[in-house]
Amino acid sequence: MNLKLKVLKALYKVWVSTLSFRATGQWPEFKGPAVLVLWHSKLMPFIYYLRQTPIVGLASQHPDADPIAVVMNHYGLEVVRGSSTRGSVKGTIGLLKALHAGKIVALTPDGPKGPARRFKEGALWLAQKLNIPMMFLGVGMAHAIRLPSWDRLELPVPFSRCVMKMKVVYPPPRKAADAERILNAVTSSAEREAKMAHIGWLPIWRCPSIRRINQTSPKTGK
C-alpha cells in the first residue's frame, strides 16, 4: 500500500469515529444471501457502519477505485473487482459465488460512473436470478459536504448524525424503474429523519458494534 492510501485510511478512521448513527426501518438478522443496494454518493458512512459484516462489494478495476477497496478491506468487507465496462464477467462470477456462499452482496446501482441515481440492471438481475431478497439502504446525513464528482459524493461533517434506513423487498422488483423508485423513497426518508435528528426530534445513539446489529437494531419499523 502506498503512502497516499495509508494516510487516507488513517484520516477516514478518525473522521468516521466522530459520527453518530441510528438504524431505522426493517433490519432483519443481517445474513445472506441477499443483494443490498445504496446510491454511490452514500458510500462513505456505509462502509464504516456495516464493518465486520458478511458483505461483499464490487469495486471497479480503475485505479480510482483503489481507495474505496482499501477502506472496505480494512473494515472487514470483501471486495470483488469488476465493472460494467471491464472485468464484468469476472465480477459477476465473484458476486454469484459470494451469494451462493450465503453472503450479502452490496452494490451501487448507479456506479461506477453514473448517471447518478439511475438504477442499472445488474443488481436487480442478481436478485432475480437467485430469487433472493433485496435490501434497499437509504443513508441520511444531518450535515454533509458534496464533492464535485459525477455522483456528488457526500461526506458527513465530523460529529454529524447519520440515519441508516433499511427496506427489505422480496420477491425482488420486476423492473429497474421500480427498484429506482424504492431506493429513492427510502433514501429521501432517511435524509428527512437525519435532519429531524439534528434538531432533536429523534433520539440518536452512538453506533454499536455492528457484529451485534441484529440484537441492537429494530427488526421492523416504519
pLDDT of residue 202: 59
**Residue tagged 437494531 (cell numbers):** 217
Q: With contact defined as beta carbons under 8 Å apart, do 66 and 160 qualify?
A: no
Q: What are phi and psi of 93, to 5 degrees?
A: -60, -45
pLDDT of residue 221: 39
Mean pLDDT by 10 residues, the chain (222 residues): 77 89 82 93 92 85 67 85 63 92 94 91 94 97 94 93 94 97 98 82 52 42 39
| The amino acid at 16 | V
Q: With contact defined as beta carbons under 8 Å apart, do 86 and 24 qualify?
A: no
pLDDT of residue 81: 82
pLDDT of residue 6: 81
Q: Give per-residue burial for 147-169: e unless 16+ CB within 10 Å, then b.
A: eeeebebbbbeeebbbbbbbbbb
Q: Strand pairing of 78-81 and 20-25?
A: unpaired
**Residue tagged 465496462 (cell numbers):** 85
Q: Is the pTM of this model over 0.75?
A: yes
Answer whether the bond into residue 218 is a cis peptide, omega within 30°: no
Of 102, 113, 49, 53, the residue nearest 78 (C-alpha): 53
Cell of 16: 468516521
- Residues listed for the chain: 222
State how far the Cα of 76 lies from the Cα of 166, in Å rounded to an integer. Answer: 21
Q: What are phi and psi of 88, to 5 degrees?
A: -65, -35
pLDDT of residue 87: 46
pLDDT of residue 133: 96
Domain ranges of the chain: 21-214
pLDDT of residue 119: 97
CA dihedral 130, 132, 134, 135 (to 10 degrees): -130
Q: With contact defined as beta carbons under 8 Å apart, do 94 and 59 qualify?
A: no
144: β partners = 156
Compute CA 80 distance to the chain's CA centroid, rounded to the nearest angstrom.
15
